[in-house]
Amino acid sequence: MSISQKFVSSAKLLKKPQTLAVCGMLLALRIVIGYFSNLTLAISPDIKIGFSFLPVAIAGILCGPVASSLIGALGDIFCFLLAPMGAYFPGWTVNGLLVGLLYGLFLYESKRFIPSLIICEIVAGVFVEIALGSLWLYIQFSKAFWISAGTRGIKTLIAIPIEIALIILFEKTVIGRLNNQLKR
């Protein structure tokens, strides 16, 4: 399936009430996980791995790039509105949108799921988490770009296998059942 076909198919899915209900639940789950910062795996005081990626990844697998991009971006905005920490910075919303887009493009209707997932995690980790995340920290807080990139690189190296394992686990269990419900 081509990229344009994935966008068209994903947009058509959003017209179905079942899809909207699933997307609404995934968005709510994304907000709840993002709101509770204690739902993280703390490697060190500076390195924490969150789980708010899971609802976005599930949306990407089930509903494609349009839905997962919306859930990624809206999840960031609603988390900020519920618990603002300083001024709103749109760069983090862009990150949420891009990660959702990548999950949708790589994992929706994927014939080779695990290789696609690995490539998706590496691309999202390097370009979104490390590069853009470090840029946003530099712009927002004047943190040294290369120091932030180093810390975020270590976090990403630790997070990628954990995220891959969790997404595979959910894909084998929950996602199969939800996908059957959506295709009725």
* Residue 100 CB neighbours (<10 A): 31
* Helix 133-141, helix 90-107: angle, nearest 10: 170
> How much is the pLDDT for 128?
96
Is the domain covering 3-182 a CATH 3.30.380.10 domain? no
Least-confidence region, from 75-79, 132-136, 178-182: 178-182
Query: What's the pLDDT tens digit per position in 141-163?
Result: 988 999 989 989 999 999 999 99
Q: Where are the domains of the chain?
A: 3-182
| Matching residue, tokens 């994927």 | 110
Tokens of residue 153, six digits: 């690189």
Dist. CA 14–CA 134, nearest whole Å: 33
Rounded average pLDDT over 74-95: 92
CA distance linking residue 57 with residue 149, whole number of Å: 24
pTM of the model: 0.90
- Banded model confidence at residue 96, pLDDT cuts 50, 70, 90: very high
| Of residues 62, 30, 49, 51, the one with CA closest to residue 175 | 62
Span 32-55, pLDDT tens digits: 988 876 667 777 776 778 889 999
